[in-house]
Amino acid sequence: MPSTTLRTILPAVGWPAARADAVEFTGGTDPILPTSFRISATGAAALAATGLAVSDLWELRTGRRQSVAVDVRRATASLRSGHYMKMNGDKVSAERAGVMGTYPAKHGRWSYLHCNFPNHRAAALKVLGVPEDRDAVTRAVAGWDALELEEAIIAAKGAGGMVRTMAEWAQHPQAAAIASLPLMEIVKIADSPPQPLPTSTKGGDRPLSGIRVLDLTRVLAGPTCARTLAEHGADVLKITAAHLPNLGYQEYDTGHGKLSAQLDLREAAQLETLRGLARETDVFSQGYRPNTLGARGLSPEALAAARPGLIYVSLCAFSHAGPWATRRGFDTVVQTVSGITDRQGALFPGAAPGPQFYPVSAIDYLTGYLMAFGAMVALARRAREGGSWLVRLSLAQTGKWLVDRGQVPDAQLKDVAKEFPAADLERWSIDSDTPVGRLRHLGPTVQLSETPPRWARPTVPLGHHKPVWPPRTA
């Protein structure tokens, strides 16, 4: 099944589906965790795609290809890697805000409030007119029509949505817009001469040695892309700002291999510092809603003009097309509005009635892996034919791809383990000495014959470094 799933990815970038035959998959297939959605096959396939792209770049650099293998169970665990972290021997808490969740609304419908970030939580509470108290929120939501509440929260610059069935989502205009798009797009946006990958020199013995990645993404999907590029040798510089809310535990999970600096793009001098970094990067990865960065001169076209040969990776929630193109969204929001939580709740009821999330952050991590795959395919195109390239994806496009893979038959969903054996998790885990302690976490998943993936730098607190590039390693 993972090989079949991989065959649905490769044509999106113009590769023959037969290249999937080069990957060895081990470790079983769905269901590995309690969900009917094929999270294991898609996780293994997305990671395998990154392995094939690494092998392609390695061949460009050295003339040699690598063999690629993926353990499906380990790939599944990677879709909730933040769940398996320990700092100095203690489990890293991933507790969510108390009022975040799904609530019954009028007419037997359900509403989801995404409240992890303070600004989104404040928006929801303002619309509902209640304090931050779960009982108060429950009473308030019960008096709302779910669709009206969805629109009110979005208008207030919050995040959330009405729980829909899969059939209802299929009839939605945004679903139609997404259905018109491929899984991902790699578009040439400007001409420039070919730029060969750096030749192997001291320290440049990895597939992405000498490649610089500027990471302006947050939460899980985008940061996972940059983390994946880092594990194959890229120099990654994450840029955030002190005023932007963050969830600390997620930074431990997605920060492996990265430098981290802060720049306030509201300040002209700091914005110019960022532009200077962009002129010296190879990959610019951003996760803002469409056109958000254009006003600051950071659109794909503007940066490609300033840095010919740039690979611009763009992530958003609901794609660049359709009535929801500018709507805020997260993995859980996409699950909610597209029918995933409705189906999950019907098959695997929770402690309380109602819709349920699947047991991983599949859309987030899958999108991150696919972003990294697209970035590496674009780097290979730049090396072969030149040009600046836009790699464009969305959480909703990934969610559609996941759902389109079909579901495990109900009869096969009995007695599915909720967790991996401790011995497996121990075998898949590694230690990193970070500035705040010793972090135990899952290691890279993809197996490569010549350049085993690894992170050369430990995860660090946000803003730990200055906003400057280190010397190139190749």
Structural domain boundaries of the chain?
2-93+182-321+359-448
For the chain, give the mean pLDDT: 94
Task: Determine the pLDDT at residue 249.
Answer: 75
Q: Which CATH class name applies to 2-93+182-321+359-448?
A: alpha beta
Q: CB neighbours (10 Å) of residue 377?
A: 26
For residue 270, pLDDT beyond 80: yes
For residue 404, pLDDT beyond 60: yes
CA distance 254 to 244: 17
Q: What is the pLDDT of residues 10-44, one digit of tens each?
A: 999 999 999 999 999 999 999 999 999 999 999 99
For residue 289, pLDDT beyond 80: no
Least confident of 185-189, 194-198, 242-246: 242-246
DSSP state letters, 280-315:
T-SEEEE-SPTTTTGGGT-SHHHHHHHSTT-EEEEE
Residue 242 or residue 347, greater confidence: 347
For residue 474, pLDDT beyond 90: no
Task: Determine the pLDDT at residue 121.
Answer: 94
Which among 309, 317, 286, 281 has a CA at the least distance from the CA of 299? 286
Residue 199 banded pLDDT, cuts 50, 70, 90: low
Give the tokens for residue 279. Answer: 């002129």
For residue 208, pLDDT beyond 80: yes
For residue 122, pLDDT beyond 60: yes
**Residues 6+ away with beta carbon under 8 Å from 309:** 192, 193, 195, 282, 382, 386, 387, 388
For residue 117, pLDDT beyond 90: no
Q: CB neighbours (10 Å) of residue 253?
A: 26
For residue 473, pLDDT beyond 80: no
CA distance 336 to 172: 13
Task: Determine the pLDDT at residue 203.
Answer: 47
For residue 263, pLDDT beyond 60: yes
CA distance 469 to 238: 11
Which among 359, 461, 464 has a CA at the least distance from the CA of 87? 461
What letter would DSSP give residue 37?
B
Give the tokens for residue 420. Answer: 């991996």
CA distance 399 to 381: 27
CB 256 within 8 A of CB 239: no
CA distance 176 to 351: 34
CB 371 within 8 A of CB 221: yes
Average pLDDT over residues 209-226: 95
CA distance 275 to 186: 23
Residue 295 banded pLDDT, cuts 50, 70, 90: confident
For residue 201, pLDDT beyond 70: no
Task: Determine the pLDDT at residue 66.
Answer: 96
Average pLDDT over residues 425-435: 97
Task: Determine the pLDDT at residue 204.
Answer: 63
Percent of the chain whose pLDDT exceeds 70: 98
Give the tokens for residue 205. Answer: 């013995």
**Residues 6+ away with beta carbon under 8 Å from 155:** none
